[in-house]
């Protein structure tokens, strides 16, 4: 018996002509994603002057720079929690609707229009003479218009307008993935609405909610255009992406810029890993009611 | 479905709908504010503008040189769609059909750009592109936009290709189809709906992609959304109505493709892979 040819042996391990089709796409990702990332990491430890860690020292010793981490988290974490807290009950209601299409189409609008358009609209809408303030004054909730643009709340509002639909649509796809028979079984056994939610749905939803939280957090954490246009980019809404952009493209110090970009990625990764780590403490298993 | 009839759950139900309605009302208000302002002659301190006019559209079109910006936008977007479509579908085909050592690593590589904030990889990539002399150029913008759009096509197409029965291809081979005619007459027609959906979604996302394009775009390679950012950033230089007219033009170009895309996909697919399967 002769040994099979190299071609046959490779094919048995899943390597043949079809597998090679992955190469062009892989090459693009290696060239445009991995290489710049490694380059950036190396670039960040080759500062204009000083020892290799000079950029990181420069960032963490200047309050104007290191406070951007806190101000970014101070925006991104509350916004993500608020968006998710509203998304879950509304998704539970919408799940019962037969015609969800119109609602989901309306909600997908701000996501596709993007943060720049929303920021432009909010500048008019939330302005001192905008409809939002006028309505609140008209119904007597306010005596005088409040300032909602060019500060923290402007950026907060823009992150809710684009972030809530995102969190909602993701949550909805997880909620509708749970077999309704499970809820019916719980109701048959005498569980009321609150018990059905806390004892049945919530444990099933935790993995999905953790992923939704991470994806929504990544979006909010990367806030950039609305923090400049709607916020106070020199003050409380000087987020870390503004710091990275300014270092790289306004002070032309790409070494410091990439260092801040790496810090930004690391902070985000810590939060994401913390959330996913907490998830593993909960139930993991099928959400379908049928076998298999 | 189970519906509770108690008073508390009724109040809860109304409260949830009220919050959802309030959100949609504000969302419509934000978009309407832009549209109304773009048609306003003067709008200061009143509920609605004093008069209506279309002159801002003409002045915005001239001031912001929109004919060239729109042209460049579509050139960039279609190039990105074409490249990410060709490379993405072939890569997805290999990943869906073959199990090879290191496949998980490759899939992870395609997942990462969607999990990392665009500026984190955008700034090093823009630095590299500037050093290659591509800063501010058409190809620089195209290359930086490939990083999120290629993985997006791959991840949308993998499950779509997986659900096409490989025995169809085997049957075509048995009847004597070569690789060329197998691809043209068997695979392409089967893949077309999925490709159309994936590519339209990439189109919509690339038109709206601000952060990455902003890092690299020069005066001749600006897309609409970047021009809009600069206009809003420098507001006060030009009439607000003119900026809003540009925003409406941007909105119309995005919505045109969005509505086209929604003929093929579920809205929730724009944020996530469709996970909805009717429970059996």
Q: Are residues B61 and B46 in the same domain?
A: no
Helix (H, G, I), strand (E, B) or coil at B52: strand
Nearest to B114 by CA among B223, B276, B272: B272
Q: Are residues B182 and B65 in the same domain?
A: yes
In a domain, residue B27? The reply is yes
Q: Pick from B27, B87, B262: which is nearest to A110 by CB?
A: B27
Mean of all residue pLDDT scores within chain A: 87
- Rounded-to-integer distance, Cα A223 and Cα A214, Å: 14
Q: Are residues B138 and B233 in the same domain?
A: yes
Smallest CA–CA separation between B77 and chain A, in Å? 15
Would you call B117 and A221 a contact, using CB atoms and an 8 Å cutoff?
yes
All structural domains of chain A with their residue ranges:
53-279
Predicted local distance difference test score (pLDDT) of residue B54: 87
Predicted local distance difference test score (pLDDT) of residue A234: 85
Output DSSP code: residue B266.
Answer: -
Predicted local distance difference test score (pLDDT) of residue B275: 41
Helix (H, G, I), strand (E, B) or coil at A53: coil
Buried b (16+ CB within 10 A) or exposed e, A246-267: bbbbeeebbbbbbbbbbbbbeb
Predicted local distance difference test score (pLDDT) of residue B178: 81
Alpha helices by DSSP H, chain B:
7-38, 55-63, 66-97, 103-115, 118-131, 138-162, 166-174, 179-181, 188-208, 211-216, 224-233, 240-262
* End-of-domain residue from the set B32, B53, B74: B53
Q: With both helix axes pointing from N to C terminus, report the angle between A22-29 and B138-162 in degrees, rounded to the nearest 10.
A: 140
Angle in degrees, CA A11, A12, A17, rounded to 5: 15
- Rounded-to-integer distance, Cα A30 and Cα A154, Å: 38
Smallest CA–CA separation between B111 and chain A, in Å? 11
- What is the ipTM, given to two decimal places? 0.87
- A30: pLDDT strictly greater than 70: yes
Q: Are residues B26 and B143 in the same domain?
A: no
Number of domains comprising chain B: 2
Pick A9 or B257 by higher pLDDT: B257
CATH 1.10.3720.10 fits A53-279, yes or no: yes
In a domain, residue B276? The reply is no
- Rounded-to-integer distance, Cα B150 and Cα A1, Å: 46
- Rounded-to-integer distance, Cα A112 and Cα B258, Å: 8
What is the tens place of the pLDDT at every residue in A213-262? 999 999 899 899 989 999 888 888 899 999 999 999 899 888 999 999 99
**Searching chain A, which residue's CA lies closest to the CA of residue B248?**
A117
CB-CB contact of A26 with B109 (8 Å):
yes
Domain of residue B32, residue span:
1-53
In a domain, residue B277? The reply is no
Helix (H, G, I), strand (E, B) or coil at A71: helix
Q: Pick from A26, A41, A112: which is nearest to B270 by CB?
A: A112
Q: Are residues B237 and B256 in the same domain?
A: yes
Q: Pick from B119, B209, B262: which is nearest to A241 by CB?
A: B119
CA A57 from chain centre, in angstroms, equals 28
Predicted local distance difference test score (pLDDT) of residue B276: 38
Average pLDDT on A146-165 reads 92
Average pLDDT on A70-93 reads 93
Q: Are residues B209 and B168 in the same domain?
A: yes
A74 in contact with chain B, both atoms CB, cutoff 8 A: no
Would you call A125 and B29 a contact, using CB atoms and an 8 Å cutoff?
yes
Measured between beta carbons, the chain B residues lying within 8 angstroms of A109 are 27, 31, 255, 258
Measured between beta carbons, the chain A residues lying within 8 angstroms of B3 are 96
Would you call B87 and A86 a contact, using CB atoms and an 8 Å cutoff?
no
**Residue B52's beta-bridge partner residues?**
B40
Predicted local distance difference test score (pLDDT) of residue B193: 85
Beta-carbon contacts below 8 Å between A and B: 284
Measured between beta carbons, the chain A residues lying within 8 angstroms of B97 are 18
Residue ranges of chain B whose pLDDT lies below 50: 274-280
**Searching chain A, which residue's CA lies closest to the CA of residue B86?**
A25
Q: Pick from A19, A120, A180: which is nearest to B247 by CB?
A: A120
Predicted local distance difference test score (pLDDT) of residue A286: 62
CA A148 from chain centre, in angstroms, equals 23
What is the tens place of the pLDDT at every residue in B137-156? 999 999 999 999 999 999 98
CB-CB contact of B202 with B84 (8 Å):
yes
- A274: pLDDT strictly greater than 50: yes
In a domain, residue B279? The reply is no
Measured between beta carbons, the chain A residues lying within 8 angstroms of B124 are 36-37, 39-41, 43, 258, 261
For residue A130 the two structure tokens come to 């905008």
Measured between beta carbons, the chain B residues lying within 8 angstroms of A120 are 34, 228, 232, 243-244, 247
Predicted local distance difference test score (pLDDT) of residue A71: 92
Q: Are residues B247 and B131 in the same domain?
A: yes
Q: Pick from A18, A222, A229: which is nearest to B233 by CB?
A: A229
Residues 47-66 on A with a CB inside 8 Å of B are none
Residues 107-126 on A with a CB inside 8 Å of B are 107-125
Residues 6+ apart with CB under 8 A from B266: A104, B274, B276
Q: Is A104 exposed, middle or buried (0-12, 13-18, 19+ CB in 10 A)?
A: buried
Would you call A224 and B233 a contact, using CB atoms and an 8 Å cutoff?
no
pLDDT band at A292 (very low <50, low <70, confident <90, very high): very low
Average pLDDT on A162-189 reads 88
In a domain, residue B109? The reply is yes
Q: Pick from B101, B117, B271: which is nearest to A218 by CB?
A: B117
Q: Pick from A21, A105, A172: which is nearest to B93 by CB?
A: A21
């Amino acid at each position: 018996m002769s040994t099979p040819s190299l071609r046959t042996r490779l094919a048995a391990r899943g390597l043949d002509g079809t597998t090679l089709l992955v190469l062009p796409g892989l090459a693009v990702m290696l060239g445009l994603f991995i290489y710049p990332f490694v380059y950036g990491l190396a670039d960040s430890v080759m500062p204009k002057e000083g020892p290799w860690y000079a950029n990181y020292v420069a960032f963490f010793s200047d309050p104007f720079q290191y406070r951007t981490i806190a101000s970014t988290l101070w925006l991104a974490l509350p916004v993500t929690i608020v968006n998710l807290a509203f998304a879950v009950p509304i998704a539970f209601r919408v799940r019962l609707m037969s015609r969800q299409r119109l609602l989901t189409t309306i909600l997908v609008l701000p996501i596709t229009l993007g943060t720049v358009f929303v920021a432009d609209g909010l500048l008019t809408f939330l302005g001192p003479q905008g409809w939002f303030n006028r309505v609140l004054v008209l119904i007597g909730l306010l005596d005088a218009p409040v300032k909602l643009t060019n500060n923290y709340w402007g950026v907060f509002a823009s992150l809710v307008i684009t972030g809530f639909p995102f969190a909602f649509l993701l949550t909805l796809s997880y909620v509708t993935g749970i077999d309704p028979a499970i809820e019916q079984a719980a109701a048959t056994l005498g569980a009321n609405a609150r018990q059905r939610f806390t004892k049945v749905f919530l444990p099933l939803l935790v993995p999905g909610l953790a992923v939704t939280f991470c994806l929504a957090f990544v979006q909010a954490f990367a806030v950039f255009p609305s923090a400049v246009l709607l916020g106070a980019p020199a003050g409380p809404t000087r987020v870390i992406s503004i710091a990275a952009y300014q270092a790289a493209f306004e002070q032309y110090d790409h070494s410091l810029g990439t260092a801040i970009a790496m810090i930004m990625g690391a902070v985000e990764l810590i939060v994401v890993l913390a959330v996913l780590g907490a998830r593993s403490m909960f139930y993991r298993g099928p959400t379908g009611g049928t076998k298999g | 479905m189970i519906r509770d009839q108690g008073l508390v759950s009724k109040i809860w139900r109304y409260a949830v709908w009220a919050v959802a309605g309030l959100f949609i009302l504000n969302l419509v208000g934000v978009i309407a504010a832009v549209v109304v302002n773009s048609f306003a002659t003067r709008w200061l301190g009143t509920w609605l503008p004093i008069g209506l006019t279309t002159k801002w559209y003409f002045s915005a079109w001239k001031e912001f040189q929109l004919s060239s910006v729109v042209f460049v936008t579509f050139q960039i977007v279609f190039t990105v769609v074409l490249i990410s479509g060709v490379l993405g579908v072939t890569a997805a085909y290999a990943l869906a059909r073959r199990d090879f050592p290191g496949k998980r690593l490759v899939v992870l590589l395609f997942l990462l750009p969607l999990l990392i904030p665009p500026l984190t990889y955008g700034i090093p990539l823009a630095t590299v592109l500037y050093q290659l002399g591509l800063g501010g150029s058409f190809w620089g913008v195209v290359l930086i936009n490939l990083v999120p759009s290629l993985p997006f096509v791959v991840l949308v197409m993998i499950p779509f290709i997986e659900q096409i029965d490989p025995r169809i291809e085997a049957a075509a081979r048995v009847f004597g189809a070569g690789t060329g005619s197998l691809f043209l007459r068997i695979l392409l027609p089967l893949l077309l709906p999925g490709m159309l959906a994936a590519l339209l979604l990439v189109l919509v996302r690339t038109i709206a992609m601000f952060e990455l394009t902003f890092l690299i775009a020069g005066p001749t390679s600006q897309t609409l959304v970047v021009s809009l950012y600069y206009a809003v950033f420098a507001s006060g230089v030009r009439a607000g109505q003119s900026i809003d007219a540009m925003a409406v033009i941007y909105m119309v170009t995005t919505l045109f493709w969005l509505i086209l895309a929604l003929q093929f996909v579920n809205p929730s697919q724009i944020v996530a892979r469709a996970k909805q399967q009717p429970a059996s």
